Amino acid sequence: MNAPGTHAPDYAALLSYAPRRDLLAGRVILVTGAADGIGRAVARAYAAHGARLVLLDWNRKGLVALQRELGEAGHAEPLLCPADLSGITVGGIREIVDGIAARCGGLDGLLNNAAWVGALTPFEHYAPATWLKVMNINLAAPFFLSQWCMPLLRRARDPVLGFSLHATAHAFWGGFAMAKAAQEALLHVLAEEYHQQGAAPVRVFGVDPGPVHTPGRRQHFPGEAPGTHPDAAAVVGPYLYAMGPDAGRDSPLLLRARTAA
């Protein structure tokens, strides 16, 4: 296991990771927050390396556009799950997972990538409604989605469960910083509970790419000049490595950029 202080693959080196084209062939992978930003870029990379995707996002139009793009590129047609995680119930999550089982026959990987910052706000002005939505999207949803997906994952040959992490414990990040810290705690809990179980232990990983030039980043930092941070397509290497068999049995596998939020 990659405990604190032990060796882990170098994040910067993995940015140029170039695996064989069939790295993820035959695998069914669920990606949340897939309609834009990092989720969209990672979904493209997973599909290009053979995965059959389940794409979840509130943005139905974005999902349909990505579905069309993947089809035109000759990749397997993804299953679309338009869903707003800010208000989804445990029953709604159960329906999504049941649909994946029925239509795909199983699940090999889950990437909890969906995120919503809300607002960069002074502590005393942080709105309760923002807090609730941030916690639903960034903590409750990945917790219960991982919980309901776990029985499917544990039946897979090489199950993988991942998180897009963000080290944002800084001024004005409010509930988002707390939710993302809790996500990382969840990663460690799941790694300890499931890594050693059975012939196919669940490999758990987290990727923190640091600041990335995405629509969400532009919304919260409109004054940043283009080119200040990498585009989403430039950071898919660590996600590919962590989801595929080249990562071996390391769990938790933590891959971090050495940059500030």
pLDDT in tens, 105-117: 999 999 999 999 9
Q: Look at residue 250 in the predicted model and tell me its pLDDT.
A: 77
Low-confidence stretches of the chain (pLDDT < 70) are: 1-8, 196-200, 259-261
Question: pLDDT tens across 204-219, in order?
Answer: 999 999 988 777 777 7
Q: Look at residue 109 in the predicted model and tell me its pLDDT.
A: 98
Burial class (CB in 10 A: 0-12, 13-18, 19+), 103: exposed
Q: Look at residue 248 in the predicted model and tell me its pLDDT.
A: 87
> Distances in Å between the alpha carbon of 208 and those of 5, 166, 236?
17, 5, 11
Q: 86, 109, 84, 98: which is closest to 30 by C-alpha?
A: 109
Q: Look at residue 3 in the predicted model and tell me its pLDDT.
A: 43
Characterize the bridge pairing of strands 28-32 and 52-57.
parallel
Q: Look at residue 5 in the predicted model and tell me its pLDDT.
A: 38
By the 8 A CB rule, do 207 and 162 touch?
A: yes
**pTM for this predicted structure:** 0.93
By the 8 A CB rule, do 39 and 31 touch?
A: yes
First to last CA, the chain: 26
Domains of the chain: 11-256 (3.40.50.720)
